[in-house]
Chain A
Amino acid sequence: MRALVLILAAVVLLPFIVRPAIASEIWIFAIFGLGLNLLLGYTGLLSFGQSTFFGSAAYVAGYLLKHYAIGVFAALGIGVAVGAISALLVGYLCVQRSGLYFIMLTFALNQLFYFIAYQWTTVTGGEDGMPGVPRPAMLGIDFRDPVAYYIFVSVLFLLSLWLMKRIVDSPLGKILQGIRENEVRAEAVGYHVPRFKLLAFVIGGAFSGLAGVLYAMLFGIVPLEAIGFVTSGNVVFATLIGGSGSLYGPIIGSFVFIWLSESMSVVWARWPLLLGVAFIVVVLFFRGGVVEAWDRIWRFSKRTT
């Protein structure tokens, strides 16, 4: 409940603190992180290829928006579907493997998609990206207005959060955590582990797809990096910094990550160094990320007063 109030307050206040475009980017990246964390935090699967779904959705929906003038809702639906379907394909190949092989396979398939986008210049624009993705108006609301678009993104983010909360509180959420805790036992009590992992992939892919479309519409372009491994790495990075053990970790992580990169990149070209330091601190001292750090500080201050 307290978390919800904090998030609502953040949604309302954020556009007054940073530019609406950056505020939108924070919530978009948070949706992306929510999808990853179902795999990383709940199922215990480190996917290093989430931008496959993010990028594929951005390209497909962006292309249709640009050339076929589809509506906003159609674009969202298509993005979610493309995210889910690409995750189904990739997940199908990956869930049979475990450990390092699993991680490398998600990465390798990500590279495969990346090079398809890189080569297929007539559609994706290759290295130049795919510019000219419109933000069509809907119900008389002009989404070219950054504040209107921010509100739209925020609503979708809150919806995504609500949906993800339902999922992690459901039996599925418990089964996925059971798989993380003990795969052999989960199988023995009667769960087809690869199929549940695949389901987690598809749901995570759908969230990534939603984030991808919103991203394309936000910047009006699908850059090649949207499907690159750096994007895959960034979402893992942000989620770990925020705390993969909690539903809200990726949201905090997204906030820290985007805010740092947007504010610091202007001031200091070497800003990723800060992220590196933050990451090292998390790995060494706060495995549970910002969420755990906050928890410990809060408990510590309660003990001392």
Chain B
Amino acid sequence: MALLETHDLSKAFGALTAVNAVSLRVEAGTLHSIIGPNGAGKTTLFNLLTGTFPPSAGRIVFDGSDITGTPAHRIAHLGLARSFQRTNVFPAFSLLDNVWLAAFACSKSWRGLLWRRADRYPEATAQARAALADVGLGEKADQPAREISHGEQRQLELAIALAAAPRVLLLDEPAAGLSPEETRRMVALVRALKGRYTIVLIEHKMDIIMNVSDRISVMHFGSLIAEGTPEEIQRNAEVRRAYLGGVAA
């Protein structure tokens, strides 16, 4: 069963159609990757899925209900959590507070919002600690986010998304700017999350994609040009053409 679907989803910025009639089906429990050259419209597609801006046309269906046009702050409550391509954390906060904020947002009740001490929410705190431990940052919970390395910030980025206990994880280039060693750790991490969550992954690094994906969709100039298993995609002539540039391969 498809957990997340788009139907002819489009987004135009003036004359530029960044996303053009994309129809995508993400099956529950799978890791579905979206690849494509720079500027193919992958991040714009994520922004549409998470309500950063509404689509120009088309529909988004999550778990059988139409969520097209749902604003960003509601999306997390529905069970869709994203990580960002460029690290987007709360720099002055400790790692725990970074993650806690996401865990609290999606907790069942906001009782005591104005008067109970923030550290008296054992459930949210436990969830936040678990998310930090999941990405291997449990030891650094009390450090400020601005003091950890870039690689660790990418892990934190992921932990913030996990803390909301989402049903679908949207990961936008989790390995962006990482060293080979850090990349290997991130791949192991994503692989460990596979199966526990339905994951939609945007990535540039082919070796990662081919390694972890169940299905791959290829975007080029805003449109989907191919979809299939990693093996199918590797054999696909059109995909090679898109990646090698206009030359007929």
Cβ contacts under 8 Å, A192 to chain B: 71, 73
Q: Which of A172, A173, A177, A185 meets B89, CB within 8 Å?
A: A185
Interface: B229 (CB within 8 A): no
Q: Which listed residue, A167, A184, A186, touches B114 by the CB 8 Å rule?
A: A167
- B72 neighbours in A (Cβ, 8 Å): 187-188
B100 touches A174 (CB 8 A): yes
A184 and B86 alpha carbons, distance in the complex (Å): 12
B82 close to chain A: CB less than 8 A: yes
Please tell me if the beta carbons of B118 and A191 are within 8 angstroms of each other in the complex.
no
The answer to whether A191 and B105 touch across the interface, beta carbons within 8 angstroms, is yes
Given A182-B88, A184-B88, A188-B82, the answer on whether A171 and B104 have CB atoms closer than 8 Å is yes
Enumerate B78-99 residues with CB–CB distance to A below 8 Å: 81-82, 84, 88-93, 97
Given A170-B113, A171-B113, A185-B88, answer yes or no on A178-B118 (Cβ-Cβ < 8 Å).
Answer: no
A residues less than 8 Å from B91 (CB atoms): 181-182
- Most central of A174, A184, A188 by chain B CB within 10 Å: A188
Annotate B16-29 by CB proximity to A: 1 below 8 A, 0 otherwise: 00000000000000
Query: Which residue in chain A gives the minimum CB-CB distance to B100?
Result: A174
Q: In the assembled complex, which residues on chain B have CB atoms less than 8 Å from the CB atom of A193?
A: 73
Q: How far is the CB of A165 from chain B (nearest CB, A)?
A: 10
* Interface secondary structure of A, over-half rule: helix
Interface size on A (CB < 8 Å)? 23
Q: How far is the CA of A190 from the CA of B75 in the complex (A)?
A: 7
Cross-chain contact A167 with B115 (CB below 8 angstroms): yes
Is A166 an interface position by the 8 A CB rule?
A: yes
Complex alpha-carbon distance, A178 and B82, angstroms = 17
A43→B50 CA distance, assembly (Å): 24
Please indicate the chain B residues that have their CB under 8 angstroms from the CB of A172 in the complex: 113-114
Does A189 have its Cβ within 8 Å of any Cβ on chain B?
A: yes
Instruction: For the complex formed, measure the closest distance between the CB of A104 and the CB atoms of chain B, giving whole angstroms.
Output: 26
Q: Roughly how many angstroms separate A173 CA and B118 CA in the complex, as a whole number?
A: 8
Cβ proximity bits B62-77 to A, threshold 8 Å, 1 near / 0 not: 0000000001111111
Per-position binary interface string of chain A over residues 154-177, scored 1 when its CB falls under 8 Å from any chain B CB and 0 otherwise: 000000000000110111111101
Q: How far is the CA of A175 from the CA of B73 in the complex (A)?
A: 13
Chain B residues contacting A174 (CB-CB under 8 Å) are: 97, 100-101, 104, 118
- In the complex, B160 has a CB within 8 A of chain A: yes
Q: Kindly identify, within residues 95 to 124 of chain B, every residue whose CB is under 8 Å from any CB belonging to chain A.
A: 97, 100-102, 104-106, 110, 112-118, 121
**Pairwise interchain contact A171-B112, C-beta atoms closer than 8 A:** yes
Assembly CA distance A185 to B117 (angstroms): 22
Q: Contacts A170-B118, A181-B91; is A189 near B112 (CB within 8 Å)?
A: no
A178: chain B residues within 8 A (beta carbon): 90, 93, 101
Least distance between B56 CB and chain A CB atoms (Å): 21
Let me know if A190 and B102 touch, CB within 8 A.
Answer: yes
Contacting pair B113 A182 (CB below 8 A)? no
| Cβ B115 vs Cβ A189 within 8 A | no
Inter-chain CA distance A190–B166, complex, in Å, is 12
Query: What are 6 A-B interface contacts by the 8 Å CB criterion?
Result: A167-B115, A170-B113, A171-B112, A171-B113, A189-B76, A193-B73
Binding site for B on A (CB under 8 A): 166-167, 169-175, 177-178, 181-182, 184-193
Known: A170-B112, A175-B101, A193-B73. 17 other contacts (CB 8 A): A170-B113, A170-B118, A171-B110, A171-B112, A171-B113, A171-B121, A172-B113, A174-B100, A177-B92, A181-B92, A184-B88, A185-B84, A188-B75, A189-B105, A190-B102, A190-B106, A191-B73
